[in-house]
Amino acid sequence: MSTIDYQYILTSIHDRMVHGAGPTAEDISSGHVAAYIPELASVEPDQFGMSLQCLDGSVHSAGHADVAFSVQSIAKVPALLLALTIDPDEVWERMDVEPSGNAFNSLFQLEYEQGIPRNPLINAGALVVCDILISALKRPLEELYAFVHALSGDPSISWNERVAQSERAASHRNAALVNLMKAFGNIHNEPDEVLDLYVRLCAMEMTCTQLACTFGLLANEGRTLHDGKALAPPVMVQRVNAVMQTCGFYDEAGEFAFRVGLPGKSGVGGGIVAIHPRYYSVAVWSPRLNERGNSHLGMRALELLTADIGHTIF
Task: Give the separation between CA 148 and CA 78, rounded to whole angstroms.
Answer: 7
Amino acid at 224: T
Per residue in 9-21, pLDDT (tens digit) is: 999 999 998 876 5
Task: Give the separation between CA 143 and CA 145, rounded to whole angstroms.
Answer: 5
pLDDT of residue 1: 58
Q: Write down the pTM of the prediction.
A: 0.95
Average pLDDT over residues 292-313: 95
Among 39-48, 152-161, 167-176, whose mean pLDDT is lowest?
39-48
Task: Give the separation between CA 36 and CA 23, rounded to whole angstroms.
Answer: 34
Per residue in 207-250, pLDDT (tens digit) is: 999 999 999 999 999 999 999 999 999 999 999 999 999 999 97
pLDDT of residue 154: 97
Among 39-48, 157-166, 234-243, 293-302, whose mean pLDDT is lowest?
39-48
pLDDT class of 174 with cuts at 50, 70, 90? very high
Secondary structure of residue 208 in the 3-state scheme: helix
Residue 3 burial (CB count, 10 A): 5
In the predicted model, what is the mean pLDDT of the chain?
93
What are the residue numbers of the active site? 73, 76, 198, 250, 268
Q: Are strands 158-159 and 264-266 parallel, antiparallel or unpaired?
A: unpaired
Query: CB–CB of 140/196 below 8 Å?
Result: no
Task: Give the separation between CA 167 and CA 198, rounded to whole angstroms.
Answer: 10
Per residue in 139-161, pLDDT (tens digit) is: 999 999 999 999 999 999 999 99
What backbone torsions phi and psi does residue 269 show, to the nearest 5 degrees?
-75, -5
Average pLDDT over residues 99-118: 88
**Alpha-helical runs (H) found in 137-171:** 140-152, 161-169
Delineate the domains of the chain, giving CATH numbers in brackets: 6-309 (3.40.710.10)
